[in-house]
Structure 1
């Protein structure tokens, strides 16, 4: 049973006396406690800090650039993208030039057709001329200016071409018979003869080569929004002296 020493609990009769050294219990080894990790490590002086070196990435040419001889900077530059200018459709309008006293009237035709004697827009125009102290039967000057000029073809018929055509047409009529003021009635007339927008309605414009002009809302717009007539009347009173002096 692999028993080296055996000590009885009680004294056995007729047994040999026990050896004292066998009754002594061996002492267990005592180990020193382990120090904490913070105490084991060597203290570092607060004045001495480890200096970390920043790792610098050195660009290396790729295999493709090595073969072609291109540098990384050249590879990053992309070819410019060609952006096509948007195609602007030609504007569409019809304008009629009339003369009333010493004033020329470039009027937008609401329907695109020439005025008729009983058209509501034409009757409104006659009322405006009477209020301005001008003849209420204006003379028609030439045929209506219709844009675009051609239904088909490659000729430029954009906004700039329309402006040049309308201003050239007016300039030629002014050479035939000068006037003291040009009425631009309707947004197409204001835009392509006066180079202005709707914000200039009821204002006086100075146009190079054409002289003084008055921007007026279109006849159809005045019929749809009668409240605009008050602003037209106030602007007319400020300019009325100009053509009245000419008539006198």
Structure 2
């Protein structure tokens, strides 16, 4: 899937840059990441065979995408990129955007061009801004032995149907330095999830040994659910998070 081109060539010719980021390891990851490209045409998504390349700066790019002999004859075209990586699920909303489980790729516009400087109308090409694509641990992620996790299923509170691609997360602070922590995962096609609990939960004077974690699951804005996990008593338990209108 990946081959290397000079950074300058990739920069000039690719209308998009993607930077896959392993959120669990907190580092950029391109090895083992596959990208499938589609173009929206006649009311549906048409798979493309354009080959992605990996730049020396660890970005995934599409040199030549949008190059056309007569760019003035066509307008911007809607595309999307879908990511896969063993043990991970891609988080498609951009940072700072509301989560929506219905997103199945990163959508973007490709502006046609004949050279690397102008579009068919003579206007400058839009600037290329690298897009970070976060990869979250999936149900099959190989957590190290002994790591605490919470697992279960995300369901609709009314229909009891499993909800795929729901965002499951937990937040807290370490003690005594109060450093914030945030763990996230996505449910699979059957609604199943497995969330790492690497950091300590809330403690109380009444129970200095036990820890409390609040899990939040989101399907889309206005549809979410939560539950409380207590360790060690809930260790190994299967949890059901019910999604309902908020």
Shorter-normalised TM-score: what interval? under 0.3
Structure 1 length-normalised TM: 0.22
Please identify which structure carries the higher helix content: 1
Larger radius of gyration: 1
Please identify which structure carries the higher strand content: 2
